[in-house]
Structure formats: structure tokens, C-alpha cells
């Protein structure tokens, strides 16, 4: 097996194991809706076995960044249809990533309401808001009833994704956003059934997984985690134990796949309690996708050694719309331009050259 082998996820057979990772690009400039430019961008990269969209808001309260797309209004659902149609016409499978940022927001996004989180623990530093750079705010601690309402928001967003033509959804449980905030004890200081031991801190995650599975089916449901991640002021005391428990319990759901972000250099520099990839792989019984600064050589090695079933590429896919072809031919790769990652037009988005 290698990057070019086929792979079954859910009811789909992927043409290769080169996955387009979810990447926020801030091109949803009107009403947080997908548009023709985004349809072109994703269809350009449909040589991937699987395309995973940028993180997409499940509700108004889930918004935390400018010009990011949503899947919680009828207009947004209709807008995404042009994207799914364009990718399907190029012969790829496309999943939508479901996103609630939790405390990684600001009242200026939320009609004056405070961001929400498992606990009233704020992030260090400043956030780019509609009114420029502002200090992060101390979030409002969610009540048990409000948690149930957000679980329902995930399920409704998953149903909307299927209406929009997506083949499935990836629940965003990584990178310091709401689900990750519940899992890790640096951000979860609760003393009720959602706090304390890992069985309680992971309760919200599993309620979301079960709600989405009930809404659209396990074969259309996937999950992304970042066990070693420190982005957005995240920390956890017993990372290996916590995520071994989570991965083991996830096995019973027979999801389309589990997508894990390997420890990145930045996480290590910020003092992450690194979880070994093999530990997670051994704990999870199902399709296992890995992401984290991989190239072709490392990607093939991790598949050949059975540490993962597929590899998700982010900035390499951003800059190389024809990445699988370039890998196959060992061709030179375009360099990504960080200055255009979060701008709002075609520059650095749809104008990267193919071979």
C-alpha cells in the first residue's frame, strides 16, 4: 500500500490516499456563503482521493473569524451546492468540516454576546475581529441545557451538509475549538458531568458524534482531533491517557474515518505533551488519516508501516492543485505564499499553476 492505492471510507472508494486537508481561506465574503471562486478552488484540487472543506460554522454562535463559511442558513446550503457539484464532476469525494469555535471568538462577531466555552477561561493574546485587533474576552460558561442545544446544532448542520450535496461531514474536534476545549483540562474546569475525569470531559464529544451519526449515518460521519495541539492556548495534563481512551471508545462507532493531527514543531516548542502516533493508531480500530507537515516520502512510509491509512496535506495542496500528479511524477512543487492565505480574492487561491 502507498499514497496511490485506493481506500474505502464508509460507502465510498477513494481513488488515492492523498487527502486535501481542511484549511480556512476566508473567501466566503458575502453572508458567510460559498461562491463561484470557492467552487473553482475546490474543483481544481479534486484529484485528491478526498477533499475536506475548510472549517464551516454550525451556527451564528459558532463564528469566530471573518469571511468563513456557514452551513446553518438556507442560503448557505444552496451556495455550497455549486461546490459539491464541481468536485463531484471531477470525480472526487467531498466532506464538510463542522465547526464551533467556542471561546475563540469575540462579542463583535456575536451581536454583542460573549463567546461560549466549557469554562470561563480566556485565551491569551488578541484576536482579529470586525473592529480590528482586540483582546480575547473571558467566555461565558455553558449551562447543561445550552450544551444540549449545541449538540442539536451539530446534527442540524450535518443534515444541511447532506442537503447541500456533501458525501459526509468531518466533526472538527481539534485545534483548540469548542470540542477540544471540553476535552482538555487546561480549558475545562467544570465540576459537573462534563468536567473532571476524561470520561466526563469527553462526554460532549461523544454526544456530538452520536447526534451526527443518528442524523446522517456513521458511514458519512468522521472526526478530527489534535491530541498534542497547543494552538489557541490549549494544554492537557494526561494527553496520552486521555486520547487513548477517546480513540478506543470511538472504535465502536464505525466512523468513515478518524483524522489526527500529528505533533507539530510549534506544539513541541510550546510544551506539548506529545502523544505517539503508534499509540493512537493501536487504540483506534478503523480508517486512520494523519496530517502534519508530511511530504511524499514520509507519507508513503507512514502508510507502508501501517501507522496510517491515508495522509492529509494542507499547504502543499493549497499551492499545488495537481499535487497527486506532482507526487506521481516526482515533479517540483510550488511554494505556498502565506501573505495570501487569508485574503479575499483569487490571488494565492485559484491562480497557482498546474504542470
The residue ranges of every structural domain in the chain are 7-340
More confident residue, 63 or 271: 63
The residue assigned the cell 458567510 is 32
Q: What is the pLDDT of residue 268?
A: 73
Model-level pTM?
0.98
Determine which of 55-69, 200-214, 264-278 has the lowest per-residue pLDDT on average.
Answer: 264-278
CA angle 185, 188, 194 (to 5 degrees): 110
Taking 80 as the threshold, does the pLDDT of residue 269 lie above it?
A: no
Instruction: Give the chain's length.
Output: 355
User: Is 42 known to be catalytic?
Assistant: no
7-340 classified as CATH 3.20.20.70: yes
pLDDT band at 321 (very low <50, low <70, confident <90, very high): very high
SS3 for the chain is CCCCCCEEECCEEECCCEEECCCCCCCCCCCCCCCHHHHHHHHHCCCCCEEEEEEEECCHHHCCCCCCCECCCHHHHHHHHHHHHHHHHCCCEEEEEEECCCCCCCHHHCCCCCCEECCCCCCCCEEEECCEEEECCCCEECCHHHHHHHHHHHHHHHHHHHHCCCCEEEEEECCCCHHHHHHCCCCCCCCCCCCCCHHHHCHHHHHHHHHHHHHHCHHHEEEEECCCCCCCCCCCCCHHHHHHHHHHHHHHHCCCEEEEECCCHHHHHCCCCCCCHHHHHHHCCCCEEEECCCCHHHHHHHHHCCCCCEEEECHHHHHCCCHHHHHHHCCCCCCCCHHHCCCCCCCCCCCCCCC
pLDDT band at 266 (very low <50, low <70, confident <90, very high): confident
Predicted confidence (pLDDT) per residue in 68-101, tens digit:
999 999 999 999 999 999 999 999 999 999 999 9
Predicted confidence (pLDDT) per residue in 94-144, tens digit:
999 999 999 999 999 999 999 999 999 999 999 999 999 999 999 999 999
> Could you say which of 41, 42, 177, 294 is catalytic?
177
Report the distance separating Cα 183 and Cα 204, nearest Å: 8
Q: In this prediction, what percent of the chain has a pLDDT beyond 70? A: 100
Q: What is the pLDDT of residue 265?
A: 75
> How large is the average pLDDT for residues 273-294?
95
Average pLDDT value for the chain: 97
The closest of 31, 156, 168 to 87, measured between CA atoms, is: 168
C-alpha cell at 148: 444540549
Taking 90 as the threshold, does the pLDDT of residue 267 lie above it?
A: no
Amino acid at each position: 500500500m502507498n499514497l496511490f492505492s485506493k481506500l474505502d471510507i464508509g460507502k465510498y472508494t477513494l481513488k488515492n490516499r492523498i487527502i486535501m486537508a481542511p484549511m480556512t481561506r476566508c473567501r466566503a465574503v458575502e453572508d458567510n456563503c460559498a461562491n463561484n471562486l470557492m467552487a473553482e478552488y475546490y474543483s481544481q484540487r479534486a484529484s485528491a482521493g478526498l477533499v475536506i472543506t475548510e472549517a464551516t460554522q454550525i451556527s451564528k454562535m459558532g463564528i469566530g473569524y471573518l469571511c468563513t463559511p456557514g452551513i446553518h442558513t438556507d442560503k448557505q446550503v444552496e451556495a455550497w451546492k455549486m461546490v459539491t457539484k464541481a468536485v463531484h464532476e471531477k470525480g472526487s469525494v467531498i466532506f464538510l468540516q463542522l465547526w464551533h469555535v467556542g471561546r475563540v471568538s469575540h462579542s463583535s462577531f456575536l451581536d454583542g454576546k460573549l463567546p461560549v466555552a466549557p469554562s470561563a477561561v480566556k485565551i491569551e493574546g488578541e484576536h482579529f475581529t470586525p473592529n480590528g485587533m482586540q483582546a480575547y474576552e473571558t467566555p461565558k460558561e455553558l449551562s447543561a441545557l445550552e450544551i444540549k442545544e449545541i449538540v442539536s446544532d451539530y446534527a442540524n448542520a450535518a443534515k444541511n451538509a447532506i442537503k447541500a450535496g456533501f458525501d459526509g461531514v468531518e466533526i472538527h474536534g481539534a485545534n483548540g475549538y469548542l470540542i477540544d476545549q471540553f476535552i482538555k483540562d487546561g480549558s475545562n474546569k467544570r465540576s459537573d458531568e462534563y468536567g473532571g475525569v476524561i470520561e466526563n470531559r469527553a462526554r460532549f464529544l461523544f454526544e456530538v458524534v452520536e447526534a451526527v451519526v443518528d442524523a446522517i449515518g456513521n458511514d458519512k460521519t468522521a472526526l478530527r482531533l489534535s491530541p498534542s495541539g497547543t494552538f489557541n492556548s490549549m494544554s492537557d495534563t494526561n494527553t496520552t491517557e486521555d486520547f487513548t481512551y477517546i480513540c478506543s471508545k470511538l472504535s465502536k462507532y464505525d466512523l468513515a474515518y478518524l483524522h489526527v493531527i500529528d505533533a507539530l514543531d510549534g506544539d513541541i516548542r510550546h510544551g506539548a505533551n506529545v502523544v505517539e502516533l503508534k499509540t493512537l493508531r493501536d487504540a483506534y480500530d478503523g480508517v486512520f488519516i494523519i496530517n502534519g507537515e508530511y511530504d511524499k516520502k514520509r507519507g508513503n512510509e507512514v502508510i507502508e508501516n501501517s501507522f496510517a491509512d491515508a495522509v492529509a496535506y494542507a499547504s502543499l495542496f493549497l499551492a499545488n492543485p495537481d499535487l497527486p500528479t506532482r507526487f506521481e511524477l516526482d515533479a517540483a512543487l510550488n511554494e505556498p505564499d502565506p501573505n495570501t492565505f487569508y485574503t479575499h480574492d483569487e490571488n494565492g487561491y485559484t491562480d497557482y499553476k498546474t504542470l
